[in-house]
Chains A and B, each alone.
Chain A
Amino acid sequence: AQKVTQAQTEISVVEKEDVTLDCVYETRDTTYYLFWYKQPPSGELVFLIRRNSFDEQNEISGRYSWNFQKSTSSFNFTITASQVVDSAVYFCALSFSGGYQKVTFGTGTKLQVIP
């Protein structure tokens, strides 16, 4: 069975602080894909990143960075110098090869950045 755990339900930080959102996953598949999506109050989920199970390179995109560690089944997301516009719910998600098109979402972490 596939499972994604985001243990942090809500996080509050002051603007310009760094913040890390945790994501731990479970899967028996050897080929799988991990995603992060952002859902601002407007409701639309915005795709941020995809990482496949064979690529453990960390990724940096501007203020965003992602740390993928297969050894601990984690795919954590760090926002550097947070801004008020980063306030949103962030979902980590998992999909796996095998012909089934279903994405397993974590329960989400609500991030509030206080000015």
Chain B
Amino acid sequence: DTEVTQTPKHLVMGMTNKKSLKCEQHMGHRAMYWYKQKAKKPPELMFVYSYEKLSINESVPSRFSPECPNSSLLNLHLHALQPEDSALYLCASSLLTGAFYEQYFGPGTRLTVT
């Protein structure tokens, strides 16, 4: 099973809302990632978790709050977002962190902030 699942597929939220994105993998991977992808651009790394601990935060605004409750789950909590945060949010996992390991991506959550 090489599947990463993400819910919801689509999300529309207002600037005052609080919502969460969920990501799950059952491949036994110990590294999980959040990416943001704008239209016609490559994915941009937001966060990296290694063994459920945050190891990289790419200077992401605090209105994005990641959480890794266990080795299979990764959440992204959203609060007071701006319209420019509208994008495709991709979750990925890899066996371990490190340059060698390929990442497996979920289908993404398409977020619209109104």
Contacts and interface: CB of A to CB of B under 8 A. Distances in A.
Interface in B59-98: 88, 90, 92, 97-98
Contacts of A103: 45, 103
Contacts of A47: 102-105
Contacts of A106: 42
B88 to A, nearest CB: 6
B48 interface: yes
Interface stretch (A14-22, A66-74, A78-86, A93-101): A93-101
Given A43-B88, A45-B43, A107-B42, A101 B107 contact: no
B30 to A, nearest CB: 12
A91 B108 CA distance: 16
A102 B56 contact: yes
Interface in A8-65: 31-33, 35, 37, 42-47, 50, 52
Nearest to B45: A102
A21 B110 CA distance: 27
Nearest to B48: A101
B43 A105 contact: yes
A32 to B, nearest CB: 7
B99 A32 contact: yes
Contact of B99 (A43, A46, A98): A98
21 contacts: A31-B99, A37-B105, A42-B107, A43-B107, A44-B107, A45-B90, A45-B105, A46-B105, A47-B102, A47-B103, A47-B105, A95-B99, A97-B100, A101-B31, A101-B56, A101-B97, A103-B103, A105-B42, A106-B42, A108-B41, A108-B42
Interface of B: 31, 40-43, 45, 48, 50, 55-56, 88, 90, 92, 97-100, 102-108, 110
Given A46-B105, A47-B104, A101-B98, 7 more contacts: A33-B99, A42-B107, A43-B88, A45-B90, A47-B103, A91-B42, A101-B55
